[in-house]
Amino acid sequence: MFYGLYTAAAGANALSQKVEIISNNLANVDTVGFKRELALLESRDSEAIERGMEMRGSRGRNDIGGGVELASTATEFRLGTFKPTGVPTDMAIEMPQLFFMVQRGDQQLLTRAGNFQTNHEGQLQTADGDPVLSSDGATIQLDARLPWELLSGGRIRQAGDVREIGLRRPQNVADLQKVGQNYFQNTTDRWDPVQPEDRRVRSGFTEVSGVNSLQEMTELITASRAYETNIRLMQTHDQITASLISRMLKV
């Protein structure tokens, strides 16, 4: 009797989660190196099928759909455009699916956000104060009193000393998990080698956010309207049920 109500509620719940994901994308439209998150919805089976009380394709009365649900989320790793900043410590990787190595606590994480800076000790850090690592996993120390330059291949040279910025390429970007602060963690620890010709890093540039505000606003409006439709269906079903009960009581 309440099948329509449950189906509408499932749809409203899934769309509510999608609205949250789109809203987070919009909130990061100006975040350097941010990668857009996608909400993946899929159809549900009826509760009877999920519990094994009915088989899909049996054509029984419970062999019907159960609305939609949020199956998972996916990150869009498309290469963003570059914005010139004129700040030497700002860096952008020209190749997609390559990431800077950073150290946060006891974890080595990945990021595309190259808006780096140096602290009072000359250590190269992210905007959140986490050390940027070299290829050998060490922190990168610069002498603020001496000039330095970024060479081809993502190498920093200062006073004759050359250090290679740590870049990593996961075998599959689908294995990356967001862990906050625009960082990613490889859940499988499987990597592809980074070829020398792929180590293309620009100094004085940052990669802009991968969020298109117009596209996100359009999707937000669509998802919000679909959510409101499901809410109205729930209200209509509730009113019909109340009317039916009232008539039964009169009889």
How does pLDDT run across 158-214, given as a tens digit for each residue?
998 999 999 999 999 999 999 988 999 999 989 999 999 999 999 999 999 999 999
The three-state secondary structure class of 199 is coil
Half-sphere exposure of 245 (CA within 13 A, CB side): 7
Of 101, 117, 124, 105, the residue nearest 184 (C-alpha) = 101
- Residue 135 one-letter amino acid: S
Burial of 41 per CB tally in 10 Å (0-12, 13-18, 19+)? middle
d(CA 33, CA 208): 5
The three-state secondary structure class of 203 is strand
The pLDDT value given to residue 202: 96
Task: Spell out the domain ranges in the chain.
Answer: 3-77+211-250, 82-207
Alpha carbon dihedral 80, 94, 85, 157, in 10-degree steps, equals: 160
Of 28, 186, 6, 8, the residue nearest 107 (C-alpha) = 186
Question: What is the rounded average pLDDT of the residues 104-110?
Answer: 95
What pTM was computed for the model?
Answer: 0.85
DSSP conformation class of 175: G
> Is the per-residue pLDDT at 43 higher than 80?
no
The pLDDT value given to residue 251: 65
> Is the per-residue pLDDT at 148 higher than 70?
yes
DSSP conformation class of 209: P
Of 56, 21, 61, the residue nearest 38 (C-alpha) = 21
Helix (H), strand (E) at residue 103: strand 99-104
> Is the per-residue pLDDT at 17 higher than 90?
yes
